């Protein structure tokens, strides 16, 4: 990880390997059957159905009343008492870019391995970042970052342990950041957004479970002394008119979320069976993706690519592969066929 400590996106544009961009892999496997099945992300492949967007949403500057409606829906969905504690942003990544600016030079501990943009963004702003393996090591830093449930391992720290961590950090004017991008389908006690601990910022998103990564809409939930500073870093009209409308509707739709929970639970059982019959060991995941280990992970990824199936590799953990879920029966059949050929 030392290389990444000093590199930035500008001088090393490929320093972080992200899922979700098929351009490169499709160039490398020009003979793969089309269309590609992109299982390289943890994005729900059956997205929330986007309503018809009114011409005014595209044309007008997003109105404060529309933003208030979105924040009210988010407060209800996330169990947050005051909508003022929530700041809407054009994607969680926009918040990751901003959070390091809220602090003077700090020591930052990131519970790793995890989504790499957290460490990169803090480093870029001059903070001293350590990747730590154990939750116990988080309490020594000024700022602790936890993705919960974690991507890609699925590790879930308990609410109680996060509340205790926040209390320790608060004592030395520290900060706890909990990225809950994948928490929507977990039991209510998995989130710290409701009944927020002090000195804590929770990140939520409609990109993953709602399957709307292209909309660019994420949220920071924090105490009323922190939230205005986040809002000020973003500036006015940060979220597009259509994103305000889509988010307001999606977050209020209890029925869709329940159906999605049931469907994804079935899909996880189905993909786990496929993976295991291909000799992979499922070692982690969330309702949106599965993490497997195999001594032959690279070979599996390459053979899947030749079948037009793109999965996520982890250069620092070469025995790992992350599988998102197929979105329709055709893709399931193609995945099953491709996996039969790797076992």
Minimal distance, residue 238 CB to its own copies, in Å = 7
Decide: helix, strand or coil at residue 255: helix
Q: What are the contacts of 185-188 at 24+ separation with CB within 8 A?
A: 185/209, 185/257, 185/260, 185/261, 185/264, 185/286, 185/287, 186/149, 186/156, 188/79
| CA pair distance 335, 37, nearest whole angstrom | 8
Pick the closer one to its own copies by CB: 253 or 272.
253
> Interface with its own copies includes 236 (CB under 8 A)?
yes
Residues in 3-42 that interact with its own copies by CB under 8 A: 8-11, 18-23, 38, 41
| CA pair distance 259, 96, nearest whole angstrom | 30
Minimal distance, residue 160 CB to its own copies, in Å = 33
Q: Are 32 and 305 in contact (CB under 8 A)?
A: yes
Residues in 244-263 that interact with its own copies by CB under 8 A: 246
| CA pair distance 148, 3, nearest whole angstrom | 26
Per-residue mark of binding to its own copies, 67-106 (x: CB under 8 A)? -----------------------xx-xx-xx---x-----
- Please give the structure tokens belonging to residue 13: 């544009």
Q: Are 275 and 339 in contact (CB under 8 A)?
A: yes
> Interface with its own copies includes 152 (CB under 8 A)?
no
Residues in 271-290 that interact with its own copies by CB under 8 A: none
Which segments within 70-164 are labelled E, that is strand?
Answer: 86-89, 107-111, 128-132, 143-147
Pick the closer one to its own copies by CB: 7 or 107.
7
Prior bond to 169 cis, omega within 30? no
Minimal distance, residue 251 CB to its own copies, in Å = 15
- Please give the structure tokens belonging to residue 296: 């032959």
Residue 222: phi, psi to the nearest 5?
-155, 175
Minimal distance, residue 121 CB to its own copies, in Å = 7
Residues in 51-70 that interact with its own copies by CB under 8 A: 53, 55-65
Residue from the set 124, 261, 303, 306 that interacts with its own copies by CB under 8 A: 124
Per-residue mark of binding to its own copies, 213-232 (x: CB under 8 A)? xxxx-----------xx-xx
> Interface with its own copies includes 129 (CB under 8 A)?
no
> Interface with its own copies includes 188 (CB under 8 A)?
no
Which residues sit at the interface with its own copies, rule CB under 8 A? 8-11, 18-23, 38, 41, 43, 45, 47, 50, 53, 55-65, 90-91, 93-94, 96-97, 101, 117, 121, 124, 207, 211-216, 228-229, 231-243, 246
């Amino acid at each position: 990880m030392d290389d990444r400590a000093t590199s930035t996106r500008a001088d090393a544009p490929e320093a972080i390997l992200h899922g979700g961009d098929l351009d490169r892999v499709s160039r490398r496997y020009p003979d793969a059957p089309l269309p590609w099945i992109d299982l390289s992300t943890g994005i729900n492949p059956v997205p929330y159905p986007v309503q018809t967007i009114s011409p005014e949403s595209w044309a007008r500057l997003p109105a404060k009343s529309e933003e208030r409606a979105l924040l009210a829906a988010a407060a209800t969905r996330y169990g947050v008492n005051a909508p003022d504690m929530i700041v809407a942003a054009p994607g969680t990544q926009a918040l990751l870019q901003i959070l390091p600016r809220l602090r003077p030079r700090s020591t930052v501990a990131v519970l790793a391995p995890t989504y790499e943009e957290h460490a990169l963004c803090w480093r870029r702003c001059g903070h001293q970042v350590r990747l730590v393996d154990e939750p116990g090591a988080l309490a020594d830093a000024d700022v602790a970052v936890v993705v919960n449930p974690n991507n890609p391992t699925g590790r879930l720290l308990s609410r109680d342990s996060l509340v205790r961590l926040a209390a320790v950090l608060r004592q030395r004017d520290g900060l706890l950041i909990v990225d809950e991008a994948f928490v929507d389908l977990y039991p209510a006690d998995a989130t710290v957004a409701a009944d927020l601990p002090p000195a804590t910022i929770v990140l939520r998103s409609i990109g993953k479970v709602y399957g709307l990564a292209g909309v660019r809409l994420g949220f920071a939930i924090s105490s009323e002394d922190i939230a205005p500073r986040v809002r000020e870093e973003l500036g006015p009209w940060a979220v597009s008119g259509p994103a305000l409308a889509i988010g307001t509707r999606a977050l209020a739709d209890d029925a869709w979320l329940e159906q999605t929970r049931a469907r994804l639970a079935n899909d996880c059982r189905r993909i786990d069976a496929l993976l295991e019959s291909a000799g992979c060991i499922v070692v982690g995941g969330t309702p949106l993706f599965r993490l497997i280990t195999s001594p032959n992970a690279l070979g599996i990824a390459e053979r899947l690519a030749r079948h037009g199936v793109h999965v996520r590799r982890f250069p620092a953990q070469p025995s790992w592969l992350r599988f998102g879920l197929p979105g329709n029966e055709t893709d399931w059949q193609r995945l099953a066929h491709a996996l039969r050929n790797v076992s």
